[in-house]
Amino acid sequence: MRTAIRTWWLVALFGLEIASAFLYFRNAGVGFHRQATIILLGRLVLATGACAIAAALRTHPRNWPLALNGFAFAVLGLAFNGVFGFRISFREISLLILITALSMAAVEWRERRVLRRAEATAPVILYDTATFLLLLFGVVFAVISVTGLHTAQGRNPELLLLGSYFVLSAVSVLVLIWGALKLKSAT
């Protein structure tokens, strides 16, 4: 029963991340010009954070890297909703995404170890690939947050980068769901 409850929260997390990625990709060519779109994105990201925190707290033992991931998503969602004002730079956004990427890489690494100990028949290459790609995105967002790189007006590759990160994060959540189901079938 614990695996089913935990998996349900992860499925909700996956759906919210895909919806957020869709919103990023939909607006990548023109940018976010309507405040209603930013607030919708903020609500999706805030719900993503809440689902990640709930999934982390529903596990035994508690999954603190997943809770950190949820906390960073929640802060990003609050920022998009204007709680801290609407003048947030891409540097702050990239710092929050850096935290989510590194914490999700820690989650993937931890789950890989759990499956190895349980001797479940899960190919660890999926976990290794997800961890590597999350760390790679973490490096990209670290460079952006440290250097403050930005592009010329009218171009929005940052939105494509953020959308790509949300797709990767959703895929890594799918790997976690698959691993949870494999672990349940192994016990």
Cα distance between residue 79 and residue 96, in whole Å? 10
pLDDT tens readout for residues 92-151: 888 888 999 899 899 888 888 877 777 655 677 788 888 898 899 888 888 877 886 665
Q: What is the mean pLDDT of residues 31-52?
A: 79
pLDDT of 21: 73
pLDDT of residue 58 exceeding 70, the answer is yes
Between 182 and 137, whose confidence is greater? 137
Q: What is the largest CA-CA distance in the chain?
A: 55
Burial class (CB in 10 A: 0-12, 13-18, 19+), 36: exposed
Looking at the structure of the chain, the number of domains it has is: 1
User: 97 is in which domain, residue-wise?
Assistant: 2-186
pLDDT of residue 154 exceeding 70, the answer is no
pLDDT of residue 186 exceeding 70, the answer is no
pLDDT of residue 55 exceeding 80, the answer is yes
- Pick left, alpha or beta for residue 70 (phi over 0 → left; psi -120 to 50 → alpha; otherwise beta): alpha
Contact 103, 143 (CB under 8 A): no
Residue 50 sits at the vertex; the CA angle it makes with 20 and 56, to the nearest 5 degrees, is 115
Burial class (CB in 10 A: 0-12, 13-18, 19+), 73: buried
